[in-house]
Structure 1
Amino acid sequence: MISPEEALAILDKLNYSKRVVELSLLEARNHVLTETVFSPINMPPFRQATMDGFAICLHDLLQYEIVGEVKAGDFYTNELKSGQAVKIFTGAAVPNSAQAVIQIEKVTVTNADLLLQENIKPETNVRQLGAQITKDAVALEKGRFLNPAAIGFLTGLGFTKVKVWQKPTVGIVVTGNELISAGEILPNGKVYESNAIMLQTALFDANFDKVSLYKVNDDFVNTKNTLKKAIDENDVVLVSGGISIGNYDFVGKALESLNVETLFYKVNQKPGKPLLAGKLNDKIIFALPGNPAASLTCFYIYVLPTLQRFSGNESLYSSQLKKNLAHDYTVDNPRCQFLKASIMEDEVIILSHQDSGMLNSFALANALVYLPNGNYQLLKGDKVIVYAI
């Protein structure tokens, strides 16, 4: 049995098989760039009015002659003479012969006469050519996560597709004769299966949307065949349950028969001790505990960082923080603990109902507090390691 730190170090050292794909910008959302992108144009590509008003060719008087209008999308080709103005709208191209834009609230208009309420300085309310980015400048660097703003930015520069790291496909294999689907009548001895939708939701929330589900009863042959199918069809496989050493826990034996290399099995932690991580060629396999809270804890601490690295997101998942404990807490456990908790500003509160099978407190949690094993007392205000979830 290894420590959580040793388990994480093993996963850190893995060589992840990453693949480059070229996707449309809509498809590339929530992916990571594989190369630095340079702007093909100036943005804005012209001097731009920042508000509705009048573009004016400055002179010494406050009175101007209105000689035209420029809507967004138009370009005024005539040259303004000193003392002339054109009505202009936000986002429209400012004529090269105009030095400033005065907002509509600061003028009086009578027919074709424009009277300014005050003098205006050159370049007022004018966004300069290339103010956001100049042609050939770096738009986004390699390794950048493409959030909605990044997608909009690239589209505004004229891009239609980019090269990104392909995200891994994930298979979820759920084991257990005692499980039935929610909505069915619950017979004695059965429980509703919740791990599949829980893990699938966690994956969706982390922007991994290519997820396949597999279910298998506690039978060696079926377990082996289902695991083989899941491994063949996915980059990463999560197995829920069946990894302990009971008479009907066949996952470990099935993985061994499939020549899956065990990276580690059993971690000195609570919850989630019977966690297995394995590798078959370039596929990664996690056998998670069947207890829901233990399964979800292992997902956040071990699986999600692995998926992020698989996707080129080495820097995205850096959730470890240090927070002040909001209360006293006594530690008396031979195993390290990941405790469901709630971050409240700069403090963290350890919640009740920490049992590995209980999700009610997990539903209220936004963090996990990591406490090393031992017998010691923590006081209010002490710093503890926190994983934001």
Structure 2
Amino acid sequence: MMISIEQAISTVKQNTKPLMKTTVKTVEKAGGYILSKAVKSPINMPPFNQSAMDGYALNLHNGATYLLIGEIQAGDKHQPILKPGEAVRIFTGAAVPNSANAVVMQEKVKIEKTFIHIEGSTSLNQNIRPLGEQVKQGDLALKEGTKLTPAAIGFLASLGIGTVAVYKKPAIAIITTGNELIEPGNDLSYGKIYESNSKMLLSALYNLKFYDVNLYNVSDNYGQTVTKLKEAINENDLVIITGGISVGDYDFVGRALTELHVEELFYKVKQKPGKPLFYGKKGSTQVFALPGNPAAALTCFYIYVYIALQNMMNRDALELERVDAKSITNFIKKGDRAQFLKAIYNKGEVEILEGQSSAMQQTFALANALVFMDENEQEITIGKTVETIILPI
């Protein structure tokens, strides 16, 4: 029995949980991970009073003229002692001497031999980043559950932190099925096609920063299908199967999943493309059997597998971004199923592309969005506002 898209999405959300397995990563390889343990700062940041710009560090006095007694570059260790009315040349990021209490930018300074003359007013602590301004030693730097963005990685590195405790990303299996499949680079004999689904899904996973991916290929043989599926389920947190889930004489995936006691959570969704979609689980391992047609497989990946991955990573935003956009094309739907239409989104407008067949990879190659058409809708006209799903490409 087919279920609705809404029911299918809800089922995936309810049945996928955060992995909660932890590991330690070096900071440079921790991008995209979620902190499993709060990080406290081992140092003050900045670790000294720091100049915010190129200019002159001053020990303020009542006059506008200062005696220039030296220079401090970024990284210099020396600490000249300034008397009131004395100054040193200083550069952005350099340590401000403890005896200085202001930095004036070089554009407001006139130099005359060993003296400088300040134009305008100067205030106490001006242009000085005080010790510990960002974070103090021992204080919370990043809390547990923080996603490690490039900025977060840079911040941790600036604190001298080399490794962090993070939640593990899922180990993922991609299983392709079919006697007709051969690897690109080989001669294409009659009746064969080049295998593309694993490359497509692998690229989608890498693009989302999931790198622990294992590839399996299964011929149209029942015994081999059972063996390979059992191995993949035992060794991975999430299994993605492409093809073999329909009811043809040589579609063995459904039977194999039953023999392996994979709990069926749904099979077949009232949608186009991607009706013959299976979702189930065995223990904590999630199992998706996607249609073999490439565009259908990729659509199901973005709508359902994406949610499972985000949930397993304990992320807040589970679904891809959806926006309202004005259609610049007409489209008439055939049938009564909801439909995901390959489209190009640009600045609030969306173009529904020609070639919406579930086998049309070329159309999908041009798309950066999917337009969602509810089962009750039959036609999209130019100027109509449509629900548009932004793809992470």
TM-score by length of 1: 0.94
Alignment of 1:99 with 2:101, yes or no, is yes
Other-structure match for 1:14: 15
CA distance in 1, matches of 2:168, 2:303: 22
Aligned residues: 389
One-letter amino acid matched to 1:360 = Q
One-letter amino acid matched to 2:63 = L
Alignment of 1:319 with 2:302, yes or no, is no
CA distance in 1, matches of 2:294, 2:260: 26
Instruction: After TM superposition, give the deviation of residue 189 of structure 1 in Å.
Output: 1.2
Q: 1:318 to 1:189 in 2, by over 3 A?
A: closer
One-letter amino acid matched to 2:15 = L
Other-structure match for 1:2: 3
Q: Secondary structure at the match of 1:163?
A: strand
Alignment of 1:372 with 2:374, yes or no, is yes
Other-structure match for 1:33: 35
Q: Secondary structure at the match of 2:199?
A: helix
CA distance in 2, matches of 1:294, 1:254: 22
Other-structure match for 1:133: 135
One-letter amino acid matched to 2:5 = P
CA distance in 2, matches of 1:322, 1:165: 34
One-letter amino acid matched to 2:4 = S
1:151 pairs, out of 147, 153, 164, with 153
Other-structure match for 1:220: 222
Alignment of 1:275 with 2:238, yes or no, is no
CA distance in 2, matches of 1:36, 1:367: 36
Q: What do the CA deviations read for 1:140-170 (whole angstroms, capped 9, x no partner)?
A: 2332211111011012123222221100011
One-letter amino acid matched to 1:320 = R
Superposed, 1:186-205 pairs within 5 Å as 186-205=188-207
Instruction: After TM superposition, give the deviation of residue 176 of structure 1 in Å.
Output: 0.7
Other-structure match for 1:44: 46
Is contact 2:246-2:276 (8 Å) kept? Answer: yes
Q: Secondary structure at the match of 1:285?
A: strand
One-letter amino acid matched to 1:2 = I
Is contact 1:332-1:374 (8 Å) kept? Answer: no
Instruction: After TM superposition, give the deviation of residue 111 of structure 1 in Å.
Output: 4.1
CA distance in 2, matches of 1:159, 1:10: 40
Is contact 1:332-1:375 (8 Å) kept? Answer: no
Other-structure match for 1:177: 179
2:76 pairs, out of 68, 74, 77, with 74
Is contact 2:369-2:389 (8 Å) kept? Answer: yes
Q: 1:178 to 1:335 in 2, by over 3 A?
A: same
Q: Secondary structure at the match of 1:374?
A: coil
Other-structure match for 1:206: 208
CA distance in 2, matches of 1:98, 1:66: 13
Is contact 1:333-1:374 (8 Å) kept? Answer: no
Superposed, 1:244-255 pairs within 5 Å as 244-255=246-257
Q: What do the CA deviations read for 1:160-191 (whole angstroms, capped 9, x no partner)?
A: 22221100011111111111111211111111
Instruction: After TM superposition, give the deviation of residue 249 of structure 1 in Å.
Output: 0.4
Between 1-10 and 321-330, report the one with greater CA deviation. Answer: 321-330
2:237 pairs, out of 211, 235, 238, with 235
Q: Secondary structure at the match of 1:287?
A: strand
CA distance in 1, matches of 2:101, 2:373: 64
CA RMSD of aligned residues (A): 1.9
Q: What do the CA deviations read for 1:54-106 (whole angstroms, capped 9, x no partner)?
A: 10112233321122222222345343111101121210111222222123343
CA distance in 1, matches of 2:358, 2:77: 67
Other-structure match for 2:91: 89
Alignment of 1:56 with 2:62, yes or no, is no
TM-score by length of 2: 0.93
Q: Which runs of 5+ in 2 are unaligned?
A: none
